[in-house]
Structure 1
Amino acid sequence: MDDLKKLKLVKNIYIVMSLLFCVLGIFLMARPKSSVKMLCVLMGIMLILYGAIKISGYFTRDAFCLAFQFDLAFGILLMAVGVILIARKNFAVYLIFSVFGILILADALFKIQMSVDAKRFGLALWWQILLIALVTGVIGVLVFIRPFEAAAMMMVLVGFSILLEGILNLWVGILTIKIIKSRL
């Protein structure tokens, strides 16, 4: 598969995964009494797939090289956390909020740096990525510190953070993954 087709495929899958994060976030907000073990399995699968997309994206050549610049190591980390969530869901139940909080905060920080780089590239909408990343990072911190004792409230907060993560990644995919056909 040539580089252009590979990049188009990765971009499309990245956008689909972002939409799936949005759907999962909405589901968790609508049904906050869902099983935490079920959440571990669903998020484990999503993290494994998302990590694979990030790793694949790292090896593509998009015009700006913004969307996937930090994704080799972060993709491996996401896949490892996904496997742990599935394989050790009984143990992961106790750590799930902290793990999600850290992952969401880390991704938001990478996206903040990306937005600054996007500004240097001259992308007019760089500030939108920055704004969404800042809000997502704050919500990631809240998930990590668990401000609510009630499991249902925490599931709503996790759902909201996953929804924001999906929106952030969708926006990054649309704005920063540029496919430029080479002219011969």
Structure 2
Amino acid sequence: MSKSKNKKHGKAISTAIISALAYIVLGFVMIFYPDKVSIALCYTLGGALTVYGLFNLITYFTSKQASFGFEMIVGIAATAFGVFFLISPQSILGMIFAIIGILIIVDSTIDIKRSFQLKSFGVKYWWISFVVSALIIIFAITTIIFPGFFADIIMIILGIALVYEGISGLTLIATIGHYAKKISNESQMINITPDNEYDDD
């Protein structure tokens, strides 16, 4: 493997580890402080949209270059939504659940792919990760379609799912790395052995 590929592979692993740790931290916060997290997420999204909208408006009115008004339209829309979310944070809880649900679906899909990698390495219980990840995808889809069904416990359940995703991601990365290294070492030994036999003759 070339240095550039090694660098990209290492960067991808680092990103996956950071994401997994972030899932674990966020998951525990959601489990122990579900109400505060809900409101905090609403205010954070509202504040971010407001700042982004105002930035676009300022850019539009202060820019000396010709403009088609795209910045102004985006600025007005983002600012309006941001202020609305700040005034009525409860109105976007369903949207936040949908966003978190989509993130969980994406990450669980990656875990399913990794479980098949474990199968290719000959790991006996690879199917456990596959089944759990599939069940979490079903749960995430349910929370997106029926956000009110779980009522007050939805944030706690999502928190538990995030913690699992984080721990599962770290475990799968470590396991795949172990088996990949083992296979690589065995391949190098096979390649070296004929040369040694030739030298002995």
Structure 2 length as normaliser, TM-score?
A: 0.53
Task: Give the secondary structure class of the aligned counterpart of 2:40.
Answer: helix
Q: 1:7 to 1:124 in 2, by over 3 A?
A: farther
Show the counterpart of 2:12: 10
- Contact 1:28-1:155 at 8 Å conserved across structures: yes
Give the CA deviation at 1:95: 1.0
Distance between the aligned counterparts of 1:142 and 1:108, measured in 2? 14
Give the CA deviation at 1:126: 2.2
**Which of the pair has more CA radius of gyration?**
2
- Contact 2:29-2:37 at 8 Å conserved across structures: no
Q: 1:158 to 1:13 in 2, by over 3 A?
A: same
Map 1:3-82; keep pairs closer than 5 Å: 3-39=5-41, 41=44
Distance between the aligned counterparts of 1:128 and 1:20, measured in 2? 23
Q: Which runs of 4+ in 1 moved over 3 A?
A: 91-94, 177-184
Task: Give the secondary structure class of the aligned counterpart of 1:134.
Answer: helix
Give the CA deviation at 1:26: 0.7
Distance between the aligned counterparts of 1:111 and 1:13, measured in 2? 15
Q: 1:157 to 1:19 in 2, by over 3 A?
A: same
Show the counterpart of 2:63: none
Report the AA paired with residue 102 of structure 1. Answer: I
Show the counterpart of 1:137: 137
Choose between structure 1 and 2: higher helix proportion: 2
CA RMSD between the two structures: 3.6
Report the AA paired with residue 21 of structure 2. Answer: L
Distance between the aligned counterparts of 2:103 and 2:14, measured in 1? 23
String of CA shifts for 1:55-91, please: whole Å, max 9, x gaps. Answer: xxxxxxxxxxxxxxxxxxxxxxxxxxxxx9xx96937
Structure 1 length as normaliser, TM-score?
A: 0.57
Report the AA paired with residue 20 of structure 2. Answer: S
Show the counterpart of 1:63: none
- Contact 1:129-1:171 at 8 Å conserved across structures: no
Give the CA deviation at 1:174: 1.7
Task: Give the secondary structure class of the aligned counterpart of 1:34.
Answer: helix
- Alignment size in residue pairs: 140
Q: Which has the higher contact order (CA 8 A, sep 6+)?
A: 1
Show the counterpart of 1:97: 97
Task: Give the secondary structure class of the aligned counterpart of 2:35.
Answer: coil
- Contact 2:104-2:140 at 8 Å conserved across structures: yes
**Consecutive unaligned residues in structure 2, runs of 5 or more:** 46-77, 86-90, 192-201
String of CA shifts for 1:115-150, please: whole Å, max 9, x gaps. Answer: 235313434452342143134224323432232223
**Consecutive unaligned residues in structure 1, runs of 5 or more:** 43-83
Report the AA paired with residue 105 of structure 1. Answer: I
